[in-house]
């Protein structure tokens, strides 16, 4: 993705390295060092590795609530630190441990489901630190024995599998779909969800490893029975090579389905081919404050927000509010105990556009009900959101992302049509 001037300026201010928090950015940007009680929230996202192209905008969005609040006149200073998971579980564990060692009681992250699972089990849960992922969609996360410390603002892939199956049947008119999936918890769970929801035949299910130099053998296995369509569950770096290999040997007559991991505006350019036979699904931003967030992101970072960016904003905002509602003690346990308190009804409705007021209400002990940019952000007892929207997208002949439709769901059941 090409960085705009605004985005480069934003990153220069917050610091491309992990050690610089937004408190320092605000001081340099306004000439005033924010005072008041410190509220700490870490950010754990991939800025290198297979998910780097989508991870950087997610990281930028996760930092925006601190930007807002530190620019305002409040009794609090929001301190942040961003660390890079490198889209790798072991690197993610090390990065998460760095945030815990630095005293961050809650973290917006990670992105990859496999990284989130490993980070949760090895770092966050043992240290009683809250993790709220904006992008980890594996159903496996729902069942983690987490003592209430793991949350997410994105929906489970149980729903996305249903959406993909519906598209394959109704839009693509496919009676057979082969599946290629990245060999981790994200790919496996989403492939299984699709298989359980799809009423047709699945001639092949082919696992593949990330960032390989060729996927020709896996493609041959998937395409050997000439399926009506091919479902590819992958990340951008792997997807670049996989699609290069596909177009060198196979026809655009076969419809390709993709998932949120390949909703990358840079994908057609990196592949060097028009992806006109590709249709995909991704969790979308359909919350009450979506328009405000879109404008804020453009002003502070530059350009259109990408996939999971609204979810990242909401994750950080809710953790800040939960910290304050819990007495502003930077205690993971107190934050955990107040995540539903600030996000769910009852309470006065607040959203990103009046986040400063929400902070004041939470500090005063008033009940609040946060309405987000990504959704209404109501959490169930597993830490999952109960409402979600999915974008159906395609790529145009000239390589642009094209939103076809947005379908809204609630508690795993379709509730409305597109918009």
Question: Which residues are registered as beta bridge partners of 183?
Answer: none
What is the pTM for the complete model shown? 0.83
Q: Residue 61: its pLDDT value, please?
A: 98
In sequence order, what DSSP letters do the residues of 241-300 get, joined into one string? Answer: HHHHHHHHHS-TTSEEEE-GGG--TTHHHHHTS--TTEEEEEE---STTHHHHHHHHHHH
Q: Average pLDDT by consecutive 10-residue portion of the chain (419 residues)?
A: 38 36 30 67 97 96 97 96 97 98 98 97 98 95 97 92 94 97 94 96 97 97 97 95 98 96 94 96 92 97 94 98 98 98 97 97 98 96 92 95 87 36
Work out the number of other CB atoms within 10 angstroms of the CB of residue 402: 10
Q: Which residues contact 186 (CB under 8 A, 6 or more apart)?
A: 112, 113, 114, 136, 137, 138, 157, 233, 261
Q: What are phi and psi of 234, to 5 degrees?
A: -155, 175
Report the length, in residues, of the chain: 419
Give the model's pLDDT for residue 315: 98
Q: What is the pLDDT of residue 23?
A: 31
**Phi, then psi, of 350 in degrees rounded to 5:** -130, 160
Task: Identify the structural domains of the chain with CATH numbers, from first to last.
Answer: 5-156+286-370 (3.40.50.2300), 157-284+388-414 (3.40.50.2300)
Write down the pLDDT at residue 35.
57
Q: How high is the pLDDT of residue 410?
A: 66
Give the three-state DSSP class for 324: helix
Tokens representing residue 140 in the block = 């496996």
Q: Look at residues 55, 14, 62 and name the one whose alpha carbon lies nearest to residue 41.
A: 62
Strand partners, 131: 107, 150
Cβ atoms 96, 70 nearer than 8 A? no
């Amino acid at each position: 993705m090409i960085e705009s001037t605004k985005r480069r300026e934003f990153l220069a201010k917050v610091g491309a390295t992990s050690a610089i928090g937004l408190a320092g950015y605000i001081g340099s940007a306004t000439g005033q060092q924010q005072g008041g009680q410190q509220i700490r929230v870490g950010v754990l996202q991939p800025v290198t590795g297979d998910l780097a192209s989508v991870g950087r905008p997610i990281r930028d969005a996760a930092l925006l609530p601190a930007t807002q609040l530190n620019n305002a006149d409040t009794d609090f200073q929001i301190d942040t630190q961003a660390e890079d998971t490198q889209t790798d579980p072991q690197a993610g564990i090390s990065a998460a441990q760095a945030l815990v060692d630095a005293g961050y009681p809650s973290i917006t992250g990670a992105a990859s489901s496999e990284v989130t699972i490993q980070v949760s089990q090895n770092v966050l849960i043992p240290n009683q630190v809250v993790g709220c992922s904006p992008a980890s969609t594996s159903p496996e996360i729902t069942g983690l024995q987490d003592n209430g410390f793991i949350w997410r603002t994105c929906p489970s892939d149980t729903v996305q599998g249903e959406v993909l199956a519906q598209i394959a049947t109704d839009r693509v008119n496919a009676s057979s779909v082969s599946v290629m999936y990245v060999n981790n918890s994200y790919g496996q769970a989403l492939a299984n969800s699709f298989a359980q929801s799809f009423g047709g035949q699945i001639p092949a299910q082919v696992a593949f490893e990330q960032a390989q130099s060729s996927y020709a053998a896996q493609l041959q296995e998937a395409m050997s029975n000439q399926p009506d369509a091919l479902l590819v569950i992958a990340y951008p770096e792997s997807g670049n090579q996989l699609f290069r290999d596909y177009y060198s040997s196979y026809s655009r007559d076969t419809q390709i389905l993709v998932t949120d991991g390949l909703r990358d505006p840079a994908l057609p350019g990196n592949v060097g081919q028009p992806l006109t036979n590709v249709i995909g699904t991704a969790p979308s931003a359909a919350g009450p404050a979506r328009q405000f967030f879109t404008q804020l992101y453009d002003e502070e970072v530059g350009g259109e927000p990408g996939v999971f960016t609204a979810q990242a904003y909401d994750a950080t905002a809710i953790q800040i509010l939960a910290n304050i509602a819990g007495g502003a003690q930077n205690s993971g346990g107190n934050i955990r105990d107040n995540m539903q308190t600030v996000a769910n009804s009852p309470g006065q409705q607040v959203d990103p556009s009046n986040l400063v007021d929400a902070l004041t209400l939470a500090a005063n002990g008033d009940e609040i009900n946060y309405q987000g940019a990504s959704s209404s952000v109501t959490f169930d007892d597993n830490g999952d959101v109960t409402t979600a929207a999915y974008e159906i997208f395609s790529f145009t002949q000239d390589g642009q992302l094209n939103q076809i439709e947005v379908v809204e769901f609630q508690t795993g059941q379709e509730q409305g049509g597109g918009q």
